[in-house]
Amino acid sequence: MPVITCIEDLRVLAKRRVPRMFYDYVDAGSWTESTYRNNSLDLASIKLRQRVAVDMDRRTLATRMIGENVSMPVALAPVGLTGMQHGDGEIHAARAAEKFGVPFVLSTMSICSIEDVAANTSRPFWFQLYVMRDRDFIGRLIDRAKAAGCSALVLTLDLQILGQRHKDLKNGLSTPPKPTLRNIANMATKPRWCWSMLQTRRRSFGNIVGHASGVGDMSSLSQWTAQQFDPTLNWDDVAWIKERWGGKLILKGIMDPEDAMLAVRSGADALIVSNHGGRQLDGAPSSIAALPAIVDAVGGDIEVWVDGGIRSGQDVIRALALGARGTLIGRAFVYGLGALGEAGVTKALQLIANELDLTMAFCGLRDVNAVDGSILFRN
Ligand SMILES: Cc1cc2nc3c(=O)[nH]c(=O)nc-3n(C[C@H](O)[C@H](O)[C@H](O)COP(=O)(O)O)c2cc1C
């Protein structure tokens, strides 16, 4: 067992342990992947100011996101098919998040259902909503999240249509995987993954199969997904969804100050500056590059968070320094899950917390709530 010291170690191990189709689904962006790459590259280019001879004792990373106490300003982002990285993956990730004291966001396109995750955790998680044409189904999905005690709804606005990811097309991504020779040969080299999958019957989209009309099995589901994501989604829909939900609302996928102002007008509690991890508009700026203008425009009116490319605690503090009040991580925790199951998600969170804590101290601060633009090195 290799010694894991950084998120990159978890990625390398996940690549070895997760079938290619599902690993590639995660480690990919749309088209040329330029936005995907820039998310991390632009974060890495932000330099920090080192301070010395400052009392660095008694440090804290604890803060609040939409009024909820968190042990650090990092939530687990919604990631579809998490349960195909490791058997019952969403339950494992939610448990790791709960124990660590950070929010977990369950994707609409999860393998374990809202009810599965609720039955296997003891604190409320957040539910991410994709809007489909079947409004009846969407209404019921919102009600199910409410009934399960979810404490916030994360409405994703940047996936009415799907950016093309070459690898998924080439691999013939499906869940469960089709029993082709290529897939079987590849899975035969992933015994841990096969074992974890044999322990569960959850291998298809738990929030959808059996709940949406006309979807009984997976072969009709892929077709259904392509047909069902609603290209007409607009701000009027945000209004009725907000009303039907009636609780804390977070809007995900904002990249432009004008859209951020509309998000404020909608009455949402927080917005997430996000380009979907570089998986939608290839050619969009990195989310860290889009953040400052959005903070300038609406930072006083709504909580602004950011995701995309965060692979370390240093990246988290860079986002905070540029004005984000919270961050989300996608691939960083998914690599941990694929590598080591629940322990791997915990490991990812520990690594990031430790890096954040030490980096904050090197910058001369003891309280994460005090991080601001003054820790940035400017030439
Ligand atoms: C494999 C994968 C699946 C994703 N599925 C969803 C999803 O179902 N819903 C959603 O709102 N965002 C989804 N996202 C986007 C993430 O929530 C998040 O915005 C992104 O992963 C952040 O970038 P990072 O992975 O570099 O941290 C997905 C991202 C990945 C990598």
Reply yes or no on whether the pLDDT at 217 is more than 60. no
Ligand 1 within 6 A of 128 CB? yes
Cα separation, 332 vs 115, whole angstroms: 25
Reported pTM: 0.97
φ and ψ at residue 341, rounded to 5 degrees: 65, -145
Percent of the chain with pLDDT over 90: 90
pLDDT at 70: 98
When pLDDT is cut at 50, 70 and 90, the band that residue 94 belongs to is very high
Residue having the nearest C-alpha atom to atom 31 of ligand 1: 26
Ligand 1 within 6 A of 274 CB? yes
User: What confidence tens digit (pLDDT) does each residue in 272-318 have?
Assistant: 999 999 999 999 999 999 999 999 999 999 999 999 999 999 999 99
Look at residue 110 and give its three-state secondary structure. coil
Q: 329 CA to middle of ligand 1, Å?
A: 8
Ligand 1 within 6 A of 23 CB? no
Q: 79 CA to middle of ligand 1, Å?
A: 5
- For residue 8, count other CB atoms closer than 10 A to its CB: 13
Catalytic residues: 276
Q: Return the exposure string of 165-198: e unless at least 16 CB atoms fall within 10 Å of the residue's CB, then b.
A: bebbeebebbbebeeeeebeebbeebebbeebbe
Residue having the nearest C-alpha atom to atom 29 of ligand 1: 79
User: What confidence tens digit (pLDDT) does each residue in 113-152 have?
Assistant: 999 999 999 999 999 999 999 999 999 999 999 999 999 9
Cα separation, 284 vs 359, whole angstroms: 29
Region 157-184: mean pLDDT is 91
Cα separation, 332 vs 77, whole angstroms: 10
- For residue 204, count other CB atoms closer than 10 A to its CB: 18
Q: 78 CA to middle of ligand 1, Å?
A: 6
Q: Return the exposure string of 226-245: e unless at least 16 CB atoms fall within 10 Å of the residue's CB, then b.
A: eebbbeebeeebbeebbeeb
Ligand 1 within 6 A of 331 CB? yes
Residue having the nearest C-alpha atom to atom 28 of ligand 1: 79
Q: 92 CA to middle of ligand 1, Å?
A: 17
DSSP conformation class of 330: S
Q: 347 CA to middle of ligand 1, Å?
A: 19
What residues are paired with 76 via a beta bridge?
104, 329
Atom nearest to 109 CA in ligand 1: 8
Residue having the nearest C-alpha atom to atom 19 of ligand 1: 276
Beta pairing class for 68-70 and 63-65: antiparallel
When pLDDT is cut at 50, 70 and 90, the band that residue 210 belongs to is confident
Q: Estimate to the nearest angstrom the gap between the alpha carbon of 144 and the chain centroid.
A: 21
φ and ψ at residue 43, rounded to 5 degrees: -65, -45
pLDDT at 324: 98
Cα separation, 362 vs 26, whole angstroms: 33
When pLDDT is cut at 50, 70 and 90, the band that residue 220 belongs to is very low
Ligand 1 within 6 A of 163 CB? no
Ligand 1 within 6 A of 338 CB? no
User: What confidence tens digit (pLDDT) does each residue in 12-35 have?
Assistant: 999 999 999 999 999 999 999 999
Give the number of C-alpha atoms closer than 13 A to the C-alpha of residue 156, restricted to the C-beta side: 30
Q: 330 CA to middle of ligand 1, Å?
A: 5
Ligand 1 within 6 A of 29 CB? no
Q: Return the exposure string of 338-367: e unless at least 16 CB atoms fall within 10 Å of the residue's CB, then b.
A: bbbbbebbbbbbebbbebbbebbbbbbbee
Torsion of Cα atoms, 234 then 237 then 241 then 247, to 10°: 50
Mean model confidence pLDDT for the chain? 95
Region 352-361: mean pLDDT is 98
Region 30-57: mean pLDDT is 97
Ligand 1 within 6 A of 79 CB? yes
pLDDT at 228: 86
